[in-house]
């Protein structure tokens, strides 16, 4: 939490394996580090949906704050590793994925890493939904 309060320009932090990291730590980062682009939470098993929902609604998500000058699709969180964060539910992680279009679960741009979280297999990035809609919008060849 001290890093979040003392380093507001923080862009990347790897807390992987820091088993004492809690929701409060992630919430402090989300609320105080608007330039955060990469967050590693591998094996931070005390992280719950509360942290994910806060991250999805945070200042890191510049689009929610009127799109700061110069912001584009590359603004906001680009990389998130929540592997082995077994307390997370698909709805909370999907909220984060929906808030940050740069996060991808697709093999081409795999930037939302969630291995070891079998309960999160239903989480998909925006491009996966777009590809599905595109495929289903093709007229049937018999028509």
Predicted pLDDT at 139: 43
3-class SS at 40?
strand
pTM above 0.75, yes or no: yes
As a whole number, the mean pLDDT across the chain is: 82
Paired sense of beta strands 38-40 and 79-81, if any: parallel
H/E segment holding residue 12: strand 12-14
d(CA 56, CA 32): 14
Which tokens is 108 given? 């081409």
Predicted pLDDT at 63: 52
**Domains of the chain, residue spans:** 2-137
Predicted pLDDT at 125: 74
* Longest alpha-carbon distance in the chain: 63
CATH superfamily placement of domain 2-137: Ribonuclease Inhibitor (3.80.10.10)
Report DSSP state, residue 58: S
Predicted pLDDT at 104: 83
Predicted pLDDT at 133: 38
3-class SS at 79?
strand
* φ, ψ at 12 (rounded to 5°): -145, 135
For the chain, list residues with pLDDT below 70.
62-74, 128-143
Cβ contact 82:93 at 8 Å: yes
């Amino acid at each position: 939490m001290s890093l979040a309060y003392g380093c507001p320009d923080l862009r990347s932090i790897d807390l992987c394996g820091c088993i004492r990291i809690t929701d409060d730590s992630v919430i402090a980062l989300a609320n105080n580090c608007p330039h955060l682009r990469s967050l590693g939470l591998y094996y931070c098993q005390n992280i719950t949906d509360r942290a994910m929902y806060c991250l999805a609604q945070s200042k890191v998500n510049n689009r929610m704050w009127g799109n700061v000058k110069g912001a584009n699709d590359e603004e906001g969180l680009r990389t998130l590793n929540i592997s082995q964060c077994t307390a997370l539910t698909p709805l909370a992680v999907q909220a984060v994925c929906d808030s940050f279009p740069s996060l991808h679960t697709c093999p081409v741009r795999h930037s939302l890493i969630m291995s070891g979280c079998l309960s999160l297999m239903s989480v998909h990035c925006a491009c996966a939904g777009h590809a599905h809609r595109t495929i289903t919008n093709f007229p049937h060849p018999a028509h």
